[in-house]
Structure 1
Amino acid sequence: MNKHEPELIHTEAYSVLVERTSRRKTASIKVDEGEVIIIVPKLLQQDKIDKILVDKRSWIVEKLALYQATSPATIREYVSGESLPYLGRNYRLKVLTGDLTPTKLLNGRITVTVPEPSTQSHYVRRALVKWYKRHADKKIREKVWRYESLVGVETGVVRTKEFKSRWGSCTPYGDLEFNWVIVMAPNRVVDYVVVHELCHLIHHDHSPQFWKEVERVMPDYKEHKDWLREYGHGLSI
């Protein structure tokens, strides 16, 4: 197996993603949003991994059942033809069968390749999340670099992460964090979120002076602020 290719173990009830790492001396299993992942030492033999999975089968089944019972209903089925937003455009999802490979935007379609698409929608979702995070990191950094001179500030570390109820945050030291989900919004809305956080490096509150600064850089900011308030809760993968 190629060292960059994800390793999968298939059972009758579920599939397991194997993550090998030189930083671990023992194995651990987690069920993350319906996906079973076993993290093992880099050189652990396959038969030992299989034994761990057999021993933990009841626990895994219980966790998967709990996830299915408590997870909110999703509007996505993760099948070919579904529409996925990215920076103001909608792209069709194309799901192919094969070894796990990096997700790509090709010919106007976001193409995901997974072993068994009909029974492993969580792998499609996982691949899409990785794709969005990767592109969010690149696009948001580009926007920060473009707007920081217009705002008149210098930034420190710029990173993307997942927030539960906010689109971004900043520190007095110039470090900025953005919710990667924002790249599912229209392009100018993403610009607004970037400008908003950059202006917080000047005014650390939402005072009239803060909003005047935002308006100076982005005169039409209210339109994008209103879009985010009305539709932002629907941005999800």
Structure 2
Amino acid sequence: MPHDDPKKPRHRRRRPPARVDVADYTTGSLVSWTLEGPGLNCYINKHSSSDSMGCTLDFTEDVRDTSNGEAAGAVDWGSDNRFEPKMQTGGGDSSASVKSLRPAQRISAAGATCVASGDRAMACERDGKQFTYDGGDFSATDRTLDERNLVEGGRDAGSFCGEANNRLYADMWNTRVIVTEGTVDCREAVDTLDGYLSTWQDGSRSDPLLTTLSNGWTCSMPTAATSRAENIKVSCGKGSMTVKIPASTPGIISN
């Protein structure tokens, strides 16, 4: 019979987060909790006529409200069914009587689940969308490729390729990817814009925020004057191929 080697480290199976009794966190139709870090409060409205949900968070990076460009201090479940940075939440209970969700605890209500992973760390999921918060850093998933009307295959100038994910830029309402030169593989183009828009372009590279991505595409955001004159919010190019997200939605050639 084989014997365990006492010198060999044993790997313990990580325990899943412990589910809390949601009734302990519920007042009326509101499920509310705090994290153990100060000023971090969340709520879920369980009422059948409302699907609201939000958290007041302390961001350490320059996260902006997606509706008005102001500095965000919260994340809300938006009207288009995704998590969006906001100036403040639409409701909830921030009173001192609200219980804490401690690290390795999980709470679920109204189709949403949140797991605390630290005093100032948490991840929430709803309808396949997720946001994570860790010590002030924030990220959120967005729509799937199917939901973004991705066009398969190559398309020529003037054609619509799909919609890029924008989780950071409040002044970018339109994320339609339009081919402007050459024949472009739409999935590659949309993936490229996803990558460029996933990181704050802080101006440290140059005035037009020029960035070369690992796939060989180069993307930039033009100056305000160029954006207005040429109807370009973001442009990307590789060789003879170029695409753009227009500053305003033009007529497009659909698939």
Q: Do both proteins adopt the same fold according to a TM-score greater than 0.5, normalized to the shorter chain?
A: no
More helix by share: 1
More strand by share: 2
TM-score by length of 1: 0.28
TM-score by length of 2: 0.27
